[in-house]
Amino acid sequence: MDENVSNAIANGLRLREIDVTTTSEVNLIGASDEEQVTFAVNEQRVIFTQDDDFLKLHQAGVSHNGITYCRQRSRTIGEIINTLALIWEWVEPDDIKGKVEFI
């Protein structure tokens, strides 16, 4: 989860026993988007963001393990949690690698 995402989303996913890290937990507050992508690649994680800059990185061809994106204020926290839980349950890591999933 990047730093612009509500901690309530991380907490809701953890209640569903989904392994989540937040930017603050891994000391990446204020880090560049590129640094966050590098961390996610090294840790084999998909990024969830509401920041358009990650879409620009994807369009520029930056390698990543997958990005899930939701425009700010377009979904409720509950809707985001439920959708991310479905993605976690049904999408294989190789199927999202290098792709963007819009929610």
Q: Closest by alpha carbon to 97, among 41, 51, 56, 42? A: 41
pTM (2 decimals)?
Answer: 0.91
| Full pLDDT tens readout for the chain, 103 residues | 988 899 999 999 999 999 999 999 999 999 999 999 999 999 999 999 999 999 999 999 999 999 999 998 889 999 999 999 999 999 999 999 999 999 9
Structure tokens that stand for 31 in this block: 């880090």
Contact 75, 62 (CB under 8 A): no
pLDDT at 10: 95
For the chain, what are the domain ranges?
7-102
CA separation, residue 54 to residues 15, 28, 91 (Å):
27, 15, 20
